[in-house]
Amino acid sequence: MAELVAVCTSDKKGMRKKNVGEGFLVKEHGLEGDAHAGPWHRQVSLLALESIERMRQAGLDVKPGDFAENLTTSGIELHTLPIGTQLKIGEEALGEVTQIGKECHTRCAIYYQAGDCVMPREGIFIRVLNGGRVKVGDSIEVIQA
């Protein structure tokens, strides 16, 4: 079963995010209180714990939020989901995959530490179709692929 292992926010763009444990996904906006939220296609970012673990195995001391992802998941291969896939997160929230990976215009601190970063290849972005509270331990279900 796929689940949330971290809910992360930051006050400013371009920073690592802090695991706050829970939050509210606002319809057509993103994670309440996060610098990346807004009326665009990359409202919420997700990265799998399995991707973070690969970076740990490469010798990095990293944790959820360090790749600036909002939601860290476990048990689902996010980067294999097609664009348009809908994800039910927790009891009410519903998101739609809008982008797989991203282009990094400037190298982040992680890249300079490791010579690599998984977010551009394995991170995904969703827009919020239906808002709702999300918290660590919530299930994630693929509704439509």
CATH 1.10.3720.10 fits 2-144, yes or no: no
Output the pTM of the full model: 0.92
- Between the alpha carbon of residue 25 and those of residues 35, 55, 61, 93, 127, the distances in Å are 13, 28, 29, 7, 10
Three-class DSSP labels, the chain: CEEEEEEEECCCCCCCCEECCEEEEECCCEECCCCCCCCCCCCEEEEEHHHHHHHHHCCCCCCCCCCCCCEEEECCCHHHCCCCCEEEECCCEEEEEEEECCCCCCCCHHHHHHCCCCHHHHCEEEEEEECEEEECCCEEEEEEC
Digit-by-digit pLDDT tens for the chain (145 residues) are 899 999 999 998 877 899 999 999 999 999 999 999 999 999 999 999 999 999 899 888 889 998 889 999 999 999 999 999 999 999 999 999 999 987 665 666 656 655 667 887 899 999 999 999 999 999 999 997 6
Break the chain into its structural domains and give their ranges.
Answer: 2-144
